[in-house]
Amino acid sequence: MSASSVDLETLRHSTAHLMAAAVCELFPGAEYGIGPSIEDGFYYDFLLPGGTHFSDEDLPAIEARMHEIQGRHSQYQRSELARAEALLEFRRLGQRFKVDLIERIPEGEVISCYRTGDFFDLCRGPHVPETGAIPAFKLLHTAGAYWHGDETQPMLQRIYGTAWNSQAELDLYLERLEMARKRDHRRLGRELDLFSLSDELGGGLVLWHPNGATVRTVIEDHWRREHRRRGYQLVYTPHVAREQLWETSGHLGFFADEMYGPMEVEGERYRIKPMSCPFHILIFSSRRRSYRELPMRLAELASVYRFQRSGTLHGLLRVRGFTQDDAHIFCAPDQAEAEVAGVLDMVQEMMARFGFNQVEIDLSTKPAKAAGQDEMWELAEAALERAIQTRGLDFKLNPGEGAFYGPKIDVHIRDAMGRRWQCATIQFDFNEPERFGLEFIGADGLAHRPMMVHRTLLGSMERFFGVLLEHYGGALPLWLSPVQVQLITVSDDQLDYALGVAARLEQAGFRAEVPDRPGERMQAKIRDGELAKVPYLGVIGKREVEAGTVNLRSTREGEQVVLGIDQLIERLRLEAAQS
RNA sequence: GCCGACGUAGCUCAGUGGUAGAGCAGCGGUUUCGUAAACCGCUGGCCGGGAGUUCGAAUCUCCCCGUCGGCUCCA
C-alpha cells in the first residue's frame, strides 16, 4: 500500500515491466517488443521461444509470479548506454525487437535502459522506484499483434493488463468494465429486439427489427428535416453502377480491395457501390452549372457495401453493408471555409441532439504522396482549421495523415468499452472533380473547377445506432424510444379504456401500445415494460377509468403521477422536444 | 486475413468417455389481481459442421465454419 499516489502512466508502464520480468522468468528465451501504458492500463508484446503461445489460462500464473517478484522489492535501475553498446547488449540477449527499436532511434539521442532484477529493457522511463511500489494490478486478456502493427512482420502475443493506485480503484475499474459489457450494443440489440445479425444472412449484414427500424426512422426524419433547413437538396441514387464509372472515379484504382466483385449484365460489368460520390457528381454534371447554383449540397441516406475482413466485423460498429448519411458539397474556392463551418455547426448540433456533448476532433493534413495543387491544399487546410478554431473547439493535428486526395476532419465518439469510433468526417476531394472534369460557369463567363467536399455527420446509421445504444445503455430518450408509452391495465376490464387512450396518444403523434397479454398480472407487465426500457408506463385501473386519467410511472425517474389525458400529452410533447 | 479463446434449447448456463439437463422465453389451461416475475402442465436439442480414436464421444484428436478479444483497415 503506497500512501502517495503515483502518476498512473508511470505506474502502468512499470507494471508492464514487472509483467515482462515475470514472463521472462516463466518462459526463458521469450522475446519482448514494446510495453507502453495505455488508457486504463498497459500491454506488453511477446514472442515465445519455439513457436509456443500463451493463452488466457497462463495469466494467473504470470500474475502470481509478478506478486512474487514484487516481494523481492527489485529497484528499477536506469542506465544510459552508447548506441553500439546497447546494440551489442540486446544482440547478446537475443532481443531482436529491441535491436530493431534501437536502430530506429535517431543518432545522437540518449539511449536509456532499465533493469529490474534480471529483466533488462530498452526504455525511456520514468518508473516507480521499486516493484513493491505498485499497489494494485490485474492482467486482463491476451491478443495477437503484429510487430509495428505491420502484417508483413511477425505476430507477437500481447497481454493487456491494468494497474491502479489502490485495490479500491482497481475494483472500481473492473466494475466499470462489467457495466460496459452490460451496455454492449449487441446485447442490447437482442434484449430490446432492435436488430440482429445472422450467420445464414452473411457476416456484417444487419437485420433491423421493427423496434430498431422505428428508431432509425425517427433519426432519419430528423436528419432530413435538418438538411432541408440548412439548404441541402435530398437525392436518391442506385446501388450499382457500370464498372466504367468506378474506373473514372478512380475507386477501382485505390479502393478495389474494399469493393465487391463485378456482375455482368448484357455483357457489361457492374459493381455494387461502396460510395456515393460518383453518383452525386453525375447529378452535378448532368447539365451546365452556374456559379449562382453554388454551393450545391447534395445529400442522401445511401446504402453502400464494402468488403471488410471477417476478423474486423463487430456488431453494428463494423459491418459490410451500411447506410451513410452522405452529402457532397460543390462550391467555389472562396466558399470553402463557410461550407466547412456550416458542416461543423451541423455536426455539433446533431451530436448534441443525440446527447453527445463530447466529441474528439482530428485534423489530418497533406500526406507525402498527394493529388491536387499545393495552393488548393493550403486553402482547404486553412478552411478546416479556421472553422474549428472559430468555434473554440479542441482538435488533434495529424500531419500527413490526410487522404491522398484531400485534407480532412474526423470526429470520433466512444463506445461503452471506451473504444473510439469515427462518425462524422469532412473531407476535401481534389481528385474526383478533376477525373470527372467538373466545372461551373463563373461570373466571368469562364469555366471553373468547383471544390468538392465529402461529408457525413452520423457516419453510418448502423454505427451511429450502435454507439447511441451504448451511450444511453439502451434507455433511449423519449423522442427516440421505439415504444414511448405502454398502457398497463390492472385487469382486463380496463382494456377498452386503455386502447382508447393509446389511440389518442397515437393521434397526438406518440408511439403508444397496450401489451396484449390477457389475464397477466399488472406487476408482470410493469416488469416487462421496465426491462424493455419503455420511458413511460401508464397504469390504468378502476379509479383511472372513472376519473378519465392515467397513473403515469416514469421508468427513468421512478416518479409516479396521476394525469388527465390532455396533461399527459402535454407532458410528453414537452419532453420529446427537449430530450 | 493473422494470434488467442469460445460454440450444448430462442436467451443465460450446467453437464469431462456410459440413456442430453435447469431457469427464463414459447404454447395450453387456471387466475382478473393496484406499480419489477401468479399457479399447473406441455413443447422444444444432428451438443456449430465434417472426419478420426473408442465397444461407446457433447466430452479425446484433426480439419472447416461462426462468434468474441485484439492487430491492420475504416463509416
Number of Cβ within 10 Å of residue A558's Cβ equals 7
> What per-residue string of b and e applies to A261-288 under the rule 16 or more CB within 10 Å gives b?
ebeeeeeeebbbbbbbbbbbbebbbeee
Residue pair A302/A239 in contact by the 8 Å Cβ criterion: no
Tracing cell 398480472 back to the chain, one arrives at A521
In the structure, how far is the CA atom of residue A421 from the C1' atom of nucleotide B69, in angstroms?
17
Q: Which of A45, A326, A415, A429 is catalytic?
A: A326
Question: A124, A136 in Cβ contact below 8 A?
Answer: no
What's the CATH fold of domain A214-238+289-472?
Answer: BirA Bifunctional Protein; domain 2 (3.30.930)
Q: What is the pLDDT of residue A417?
A: 62
A501, A538 contact by CB (below 8 A):
yes
Residues facing residue A554 across a β-bridge: A536
- The single residue of A185, A227, A273, A454 carrying the catalytic annotation is A454
In the sheet that holds A240-242, the strands lie side by side as A240-242, A268-272, A263-265
pLDDT of residue A4: 52
Q: How far is CA A340 from the centre of its chain?
A: 22
pLDDT bracket for residue A388 (50, 70, 90): very high
CA–C1' span, A191 to B22, in Å? 21
Give me A150's grid cell.
Answer: 505491420
Q: Distance (Å, rounded) from C-alpha A31 to C-alpha A38?
A: 21
For residues A183 and A425, is the Cβ–Cβ distance under 8 A? no
Q: How confident is the model at residue A2 (pLDDT cuts 50, 70, 90)?
A: very low
**Interface predicted TM-score (ipTM):** 0.90
Region for residue A137 given its phi and psi (left: phi exceeds 0; alpha: psi -120 to 50; beta: otherwise): beta
For residue A110, the SS3 value is coil
Euclidean distance between CA atoms A129 and A112, whole angstroms: 16
Of residues A113, A123, A277, A331, which has the active-site annotation?
A277
Shortest-distance nucleotide from A157 CA to C1'? B3
**Quick check: is A239 catalytic?**
no
- Sequence-ordered strand ranges (E) for A252-357: 263-265, 268-272, 289-290, 296-305, 321-331
Q: Beta carbon of A315 within 7 Å of strand B? A: yes
Which of A98, A185, A297, A408 is catalytic? The answer is: A408
Name the catalytic one among A127, A306, A525, A533. Answer: A306
Distance (Å, whole) CA A255 – CA A248? 13
Q: What is the pLDDT of residues A149-196, one digit of tens each?
A: 888 888 888 999 999 999 999 888 888 887 777 888 998 999 999 998
pLDDT of residue A418: 66
What is the spatial distance, in angstroms and rounded to an integer, between the CA atom of A521 and the C1' atom of B41?
19
Residue A548: other Cβ atoms inside 10 A: 11
Confidence of residue A579 (pLDDT cuts 50, 70, 90): low
Residue A122: Cβ-neighbour burial (10 angstroms; 0-12, 13-18, 19+):
buried
pLDDT tops 70 at residue A565: yes
What SS3 class is residue A400? coil
Distance from residue A59 (CA) to nucleotide B45 (C1'), in Å? 35
What's the residue count for chain A? 579
Residues forming a β-bridge with A196: A207
pTM: 0.90
pLDDT of A507 reads 97
Point out the nucleotide closest to A544 (alpha carbon to C1′).
Answer: B34
Q: Encode pLDDT of A331-386 as tens digits.
A: 999 999 999 999 999 999 998 899 888 788 999 999 888 888 899 999 999 999 99
CB distance A376 to A434 below 8 Å: no
CATH T-level fold of A485-578 = Rossmann fold (3.40.50)
| Contact flag, residue A555 CB and nucleic strand B, below 7 A | yes
Active site residue A24: no
- Measure A136 CA to B43 C1' (Å): 51
Mean pLDDT in residue range A493-507: 96
Specify the DSSP class assigned to residue A317: T
Q: Supply the Cα-derived Rg of chain A in whole angstroms.
A: 29
Predicted pLDDT at A218: 97
Residue A515, all three cell numbers: 401489451
Strand B lies under 7 A from the Cβ of residue A61: no
Query: Which residue is closest to B70 in terms of CA–C1' distance?
Result: A143
* Residue A64, phi then psi, degrees to nearest 5: -60, -40
As given in the structure block, the three cell numbers for residue A20 are 515482462
- As a whole number, mean pLDDT of residues A392-416 equals 87
For all residues of chain A together, what is the average pLDDT?
Answer: 90
What cell numbers appear for A543 in the block? Answer: 379509479
A419 touches strand B (CB under 7 A): yes
Predicted local confidence at residue A104, as pLDDT: 85
Residue A214, pLDDT above cutoff 90: yes
CA distance A151 to A145: 9
End-to-end CA distance of chain A: 45
Known catalytic residue: A533? no
| Catalytic (active site) residue A306 | yes
A427: which nucleotide lies closest, measuring CA to C1'? Answer: B75
A239-256 in b/e form (b: 16+ CB < 10 A) is eebebebbebbbbbeeee
- The CATH number for A3-182, chosen from 3.40.1210.10, 3.40.50.10330, 3.30.980.10, 3.40.50.170, is 3.30.980.10
Nucleic strand B near CB of residue A441 (< 7 Å): no
The residue whose grid cell reads 467538373 is A438
Helices vs strands, H then E, count in chain A: 18, 29
pLDDT at residue A415, as a whole number: 67
Q: Is the CB of A560 under 7 A from strand B?
A: yes
* Residue bearing the bigger pLDDT, A294 or A417: A294
Nucleotides of chain B touched by protein CB (<7 A): 1-5, 11, 30-38, 65-75
Backbone phi and psi for residue A479, each to the nearest 5 degrees, phi listed first: -65, -20
Which three cell numbers mark A491? 385487469
pLDDT in tens, A266-295: 999 999 999 999 999 999 999 999 999 999
Cα separation, A81 vs A340, whole angstroms:
50
Residue A280, C-alpha cell as written in the block: 452525386
Catalytic, A314? Answer no
The domain spans of chain A are 3-182, 214-238+289-472, 485-578
A54-88: pLDDT as tens digits: 777 788 888 999 999 999 998 898 988 888 888 88
Which three-class secondary structure string do you get for A319-381? CCEEEEEEEEEEECHHHHHHHHHHHHHHHHHHHHHCCCCCCEEEEECCCCCCCCCHHHHHHHH
Contact A333, A377 (CB under 8 A): no
CA A536 to C1' B23, in angstroms, rounded, equals 29
